[in-house]
């Protein structure tokens, strides 16, 4: 689906609520029916990290000890222009990635590692400029539904309902199915939909969205991979600038350490279960606005429980594309991505590629 | 934003017998059928999610430069934010829309009250009169001790506001017999286009305009505003770059530059310094500040040392001891400042104005009650000492800003 295209109510219901409630049969297996597509790891360690019995750490569920795992699944159907892939198609690939990430044979088992039926899930999409595609948000909801979450316990959200609508989501505040609304929809509770108290985390002092503070017990960062004119990169972590009321105050110094501090607050840190990155057609320059001339058909989804590692891999993809396209490195434009090191220093994840195991499903992740 | 012109103004204003607008009165007075309020008053999330939002007060920004790739560089304040398409500047109220820079708060008033002019505080400006006091969301600093953070540190869509076009606001001032409009509570620099246009409209109706500001503004924009304003109050938050960097996310040097430009323009200026225990209260720092003011702005500029109260992100410090304020006042006067006041301490002797020549009380202030009987035609009734200030509405409206002075030639060796 193109970013600007509106999804219909029927499509929304079909894509999320109905799927989540009833589950959908799998469509054709990835890569022409290959049950076990080849995976490529760039880091040391086993190609297919075996699930360690009883291992329930949030980072790198089944990655080698000390490493964070990031799964990149690519398929040409994800890169199509125009309508783009359906939520069902995205979900198939997402489940494949989830299995690889968790080392489980069944996708439902993988999702059950991250989400419980009693959770209230907030799927944080990024609707600013070039947005996370609705198909991705809906696919996450559908997959979570298969893990036992009732659709009514899920919210697809961002800062404002208007932004969601413009990004192609269909806002729904109540009724059956997955809800979808902005923080501003909770403004009747006061403070514009944000919590009443300033919460301090490192260098930031912010009100956090009531969707995070009051509604959700679990979060998925449903981000999009794109360039940012000040931060260098906006992806898994910077997505949560949409959870605080004053992100405009925290763009100095390439958003460092502010992005890390925003994510280090327990409201985010303790709730974040998974990152699913829309890398269908990433944008390597000119972000965060929509600039189609700098987008390319990467055709990927990137999935990890480690937001820092995912951002590091995402940055590497952008850097390689910039080099291939003849664009200056971010450092040469005085906008290196500084906040990754700060995030690692705060224990949010792994910022060093050497500490990250990247599993490719389909086309190798680093083949731009 | 202003430290001294405390928002939460309703109870205080009512207690003092001044008028504050209820929401209904606000709408009626503003004549604003167009409500630019943010989302959030329509009931549950369902209704809100499905309801279209009204347009915010979007207006062309006046001070910016276009850059490649539809980016812009804001030229309003010293931050000079480079803002990509769809993004906003640091203030949160200016947005790049396809390469055109827009203010989102033109007339989007979140506060509308009638205050005594002394509350700004302006002590040497038409004393005993009222000011129609307005604000929008947003600020170009983030002071950890901000008294009005619940509007200044918000984005416009996060606060309730109502559209009040400049001519409507001036009409309210005339109707309510307010000789002055005060742009205050938050930071007027961030809604400078509205200040500019409203102040110009006000002059046509004999209504003055005062800007209660942090002084964080670039010179061209300041000069544009001062062509219509009649007075300015600047918060000088400290006299060290360290304080500005650590407590305000700003810089001292641009504020000092603003004070020099105001001096050059010739507009009536007063200064507030919020004294915060352990952070900016040393006698050495106050003395240095006072000496700088004497030499760069002049000994006659009124300076108010205000008492800090814990709030926002600075709740770990106690209120300023009155003795600290007394000391600040004393060392400043020892350094040559002639009109130094103590603020936020009711019934303090330092609220009143004294003749620097004979020591007579010229303007007795108790809270917002004012007795200016010691002053006659801008001079001490006792000894005739001329007292600097703007003592009548006619004087206020007669002010015309001086054009930029030519740089002084280097002194001969």
DSSP letter string, A17-45: IHHHHH-----SPHHHH-SS--EEESSSS
Mean pLDDT of the B191-204 span: 98
Instruction: Check B142 against A192: CB less than 8 A apart.
Output: no
Among A62-76, A104-118, A228-242, name the one with the lowest average pLDDT: A62-76
Instruction: Write out the two tokens for B82.
Output: 């480079």
Closest by Cβ to B45, choosing from A185, A191, A249: A185
Contact residues on chain A for B85, CB-CB shorter than 8 A: 129, 289
B40 → closest Cβ in A192, A252, A288 = A192
Greater pLDDT, A172 or B54: A172
Tell whether B142 lies on the interface with A, counting CB pairs under 8 A.
yes
pLDDT of residue A13: 37
B42/A182 CB distance under 8 A: no
Record: contact A248-B49, CB cut-off 8 A: no
Cβ neighbours for A170, distance < 8 A, ≥ 6 positions apart: A6, A7, A8, A9, A11, A12, A180
DSSP-assigned beta bridge partners for residue B183 = B134, B211
- Mean pLDDT over the full length of chain A: 85
CB contact under 8 A, A161 and B49: yes
Calculate mean pLDDT across residues A272-286.
Answer: 97
Long-range contacts of B9-15 (CB under 8 A, 24+ apart): B9/B111, B9/B113, B9/B115, B9/B119, B9/B133, B9/B185, B10/B113, B12/B119, B13/B113, B13/B114, B13/B115
* Confidence (pLDDT) at A84: 85
User: B253: pLDDT confidence band, cut at 50, 70 and 90?
Assistant: very high
What pLDDT is attached to residue B14?
33
Q: How far apart are the first and last CA of chain A?
A: 22
Cα dihedral across residues A349, A352, A355, A360: positive or negative: positive
pLDDT class of B386 with cuts at 50, 70, 90: very high
Residues of A in contact with B40 (CB under 8 A): 184-188, 192-193
Is the CB of A248 less than 8 angstroms away from the CB of B91?
yes
Q: At what angle do helices B252-265 and B283-296 cross, to 10 degrees?
A: 30
Q: How far is B154 from chain A (nearest CA, A)?
A: 7
Please give, rounded to a whole number of angstroms, the shortest distance from the CA of B305 to a CA of chain A.
27
For B90, which of A173, A174, A248 is closest by C-beta distance?
A: A248
Q: Looking at the predicted structure, is the pLDDT value of residue B143 above 70?
A: yes
Nearest-CA distance A247 → chain B (Å): 8
- Give the separation between CA B372 and CA A143, rounded to whole angstroms: 75
Write out pLDDT tens, residues A289-303.
Answer: 999 999 999 999 999
Cα A178 to Cα A145: distance, rounded to the nearest angstrom: 10
Instruction: Please say if the pLDDT value at position B59 is more than 70.
Output: yes
The residue ranges of every structural domain in chain A are 11-20+59-361
Contact A122, A240 (CB under 8 A): no
CA atoms of A254 and B279, how far apart (whole Å): 28
Sign of the CA dihedral B90, B91, B92, B97? negative
Residue A257: asked if its preceding bond is cis (omega within 30°), the reply is yes
Between A45 and B280, the more confident residue is B280
pLDDT in tens, A121-143: 999 999 999 999 999 999 999 99
Residues of A in contact with B88 (CB under 8 A): 248
**Is the pLDDT at A77 greater than 80, yes or no?**
yes
The domain segmentation of chain B, as residue ranges, is: 9-25+107-351, 59-103
CB atoms B91 and A172 under 8 Å: no
Lowest model confidence (mean pLDDT) among A164-178, B113-127, B282-296: A164-178
pLDDT grade, residue B333 (50/70/90)? very high
Taking an 8 Å cut-off on Cβ atoms, the answer to whether A192 and B69 are in contact is: no
Examine the pLDDT at B170 and tell me if it is beyond 50. yes
Task: Compute the nearest-CA separation of A233 from chain B (Å).
Answer: 14
By Cβ distance, the residue of A173, A205, A291 closest to B49 is: A173
Phi-psi category of B73—alpha, beta or left, where left has phi over 0 and alpha has psi -120 to 50? beta
- The average confidence (pLDDT) of chain B is 89
Banded pLDDT at B43 (limits 50, 70, 90): very low
In chain B, what residues touch A286 (CB-CB under 8 Å)? 69, 84
CA distance to A24, B307, B327, per residue, from B346 (Å):
71, 10, 17
Q: What DSSP designation does B348 have?
A: -
Class of domain A11-20+59-361: alpha beta
- Give the rounded percent of residues in chain A with a pLDDT score beyond 70: 82
Q: A36 versus B225: which is more confidently predicted?
A: B225
Residue pair A168/A133 in contact (Cβ under 8 Å)? The answer is yes
Q: Which residues make Cβ contacts (< 8 Å) with residue A111, sequence separation at least 6? A: A98, A143, A144, A146, A147
For residue B46, list chain A residues with Cβ-Cβ distance below 8 A: 172-175
Helix (H, G, I), strand (E, B) or coil at B6: coil
Using a CB–CB cut-off of 8 Å, the residues of A that contact B are 128-129, 160-162, 171-175, 179-182, 184-188, 191-194, 198, 200, 205, 228-230, 245-246, 248-249, 251-252, 286-289, 291
How distant, in Å, are the alpha carbons of B286, B303, B325, B333 from that of B330?
A: 10, 12, 9, 5
Topology of the domain comprising B9-25+107-351: TIM Barrel (3.20.20)
Window from A338-342, B32-36, B73-77 with minimum mean pLDDT: B32-36
Q: What is the C-alpha to C-alpha distance for residues A119 and B269, in angstroms, rounded to an integer?
A: 58
Q: Are B41 and B160 in contact (CB under 8 A)?
A: yes
- B409 pLDDT band, cuts 50/70/90, is low
pLDDT at A175: 81
Q: B180 with B48: CB under 8 angstroms?
A: no
Does the structure show a pLDDT above 80 at B53? no
Interchain CB distance below 8 Å, B48 and A249? no
For residue B298, the model assigns a pLDDT of 98
Decide if pLDDT at B66 tops 90: yes
**If you average pLDDT over residues A92-108, what whole number do you get?**
95
């Amino acid at each position: 689906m193109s970013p600007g295209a509106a999804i219909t109510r029927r499509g929304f219901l079909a894509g999320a609520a109905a799927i989540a409630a009833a589950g959908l049969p799998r469509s054709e297996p990835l890569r022409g029916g290959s049950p076990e597509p080849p995976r490529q790891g760039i880091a040391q360690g086993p190609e297919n990290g075996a699930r360690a019995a009883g291992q329930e750490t949030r980072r790198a569920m089944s990655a080698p000890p000390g490493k964070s795992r990031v799964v990149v699944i690519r398929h040409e159907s994800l890169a199509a222009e125009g309508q783009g892939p359906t939520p069902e198609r995205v979900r198939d690939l997402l489940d494949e990635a989830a299995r690889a990430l968790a080392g489980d044979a069944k996708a439902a088992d993988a999702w059950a590692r991250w989400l419980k039926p009693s959770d209230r899930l907030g799927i944080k999409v990024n609707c600013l400029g070039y947005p996370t595609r609705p198909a991705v948000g809906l696919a996450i909801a559908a997959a979570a539904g298969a893990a036992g979450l009732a659709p009514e316990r899920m919210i697809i959200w961002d800062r404002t309902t208007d932004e969601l609508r413009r990004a192609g989501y269909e806002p729904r505040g109540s009724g059956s199915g997955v809800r979808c609304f902005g923080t501003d929809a909770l403004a009747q509770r006061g403070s514009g939909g944000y919590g009443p108290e300033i919460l301090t985390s490192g260098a930031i002092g912010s009100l956090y969205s009531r969707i995070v503070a009051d509604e959700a017990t679990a979060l998925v960062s449903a981000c999009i991979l794109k360039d940012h004119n000040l931060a260098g990169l906006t992806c898994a972590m910077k997505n949560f600038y949409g959870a605080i009321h004053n992100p405009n105050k925290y763009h100095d110094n390439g958003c460092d350490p502010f992005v890390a501090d925003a994510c280090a607050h327990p409201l985010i840190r303790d709730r974040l279960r998974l990152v699913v990155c829309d890398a269908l057609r990433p944008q390597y320059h000119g972000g965060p606005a929509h600039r189609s001339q700098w987008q390319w058909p990467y055709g990927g989804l990137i999935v990890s429980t480690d937001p820092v590692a995912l951002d590091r891999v995402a940055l590497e993809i952008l850097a390689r594309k910039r080099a291939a396209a003849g664009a200056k490195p971010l450092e040469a434009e005085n906008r290196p991505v500084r906040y990754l090191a700060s995030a690692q220093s705060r224990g949010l994840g792994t910022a060093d590629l050497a500490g990250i195991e990247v599993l490719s499903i389909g086309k190798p992740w680093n083949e731009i | 934003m202003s430290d001294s012109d405390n928002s939460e103004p309703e109870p205080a204003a009512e207690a003092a017998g001044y008028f504050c607008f209820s929401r209904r009165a606000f709408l009626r007075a503003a004549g604003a059928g167009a409500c630019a309020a943010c989302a959030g008053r329509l009931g549950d999330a369902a209704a809100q999610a499905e309801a279209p939002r009204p347009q915010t007060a979007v207006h062309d920004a006046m001070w910016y430069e276009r850059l490649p790739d539809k980016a812009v560089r804001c030229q309003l304040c010293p931050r000079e934010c480079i803002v990509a398409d769809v993004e906003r500047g640091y203030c949160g109220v200016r947005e790049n829309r396809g390469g055109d820079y827009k203010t989102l708060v033109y007339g989007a008033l979140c506060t509308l009250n009638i205050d005594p002019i002394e509350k700004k505080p302006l002590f040497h400006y038409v004393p005993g009169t009222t000011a129609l006091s307005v604000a929008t969301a947003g600020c170009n600093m983030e002071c950890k001790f901000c008294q009005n953070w619940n509007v200044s540190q918000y984005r416009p869509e996060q606060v309730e506001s109502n559209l009040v076009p400049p001519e409507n606001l001036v009409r309210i001032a005339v109707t309510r017999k307010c000789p002055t409009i005060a742009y205050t509570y938050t930071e007027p620099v961030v809604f400078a286009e509205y200040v500019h246009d409203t102040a110009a409209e006000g002059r046509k109706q004999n209504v003055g305009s005062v800007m209660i500001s942090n002084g964080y503004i670039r010179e061209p924009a300041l000069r544009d505003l001062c062509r219509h304003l009649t007075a300015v109050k600047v918060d000088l938050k400290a006299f060290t770059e360290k304080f500005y960097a650590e407590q305000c996310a700003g810089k001292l040097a641009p504020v000092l530059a603003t004070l020099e430009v105001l001096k050059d323009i010739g507009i009536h200026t007063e200064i507030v310094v919020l004294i915060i225990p352990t952070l900016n209260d040393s006698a050495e720092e106050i003395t240095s500040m006072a000496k700088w003011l004497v030499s760069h702005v002049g000994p006659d500029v009124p300076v108010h040392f205000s008492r800090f109260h814990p709030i926002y992100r600075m709740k770990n410090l106690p209120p300023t001891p009155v003795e600290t304020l007394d000391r600040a006042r004393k060392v400043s006067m020892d350094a040559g400042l002639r009109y130094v006041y103590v603020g936020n301490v009711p019934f303090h002797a330092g609220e009143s104005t004294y003749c620097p020549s004979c020591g007579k009380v010229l303007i007795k202030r108790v809270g917002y009650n004012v007795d200016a009987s010691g002053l006659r035609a801008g001079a001490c009734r006792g000894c005739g000492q001329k007292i600097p200030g703007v003592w009548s509405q006619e004087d206020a409206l007669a002010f015309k800003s001086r054009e930029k002075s030519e740089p002084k030639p280097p002194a001969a060796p």
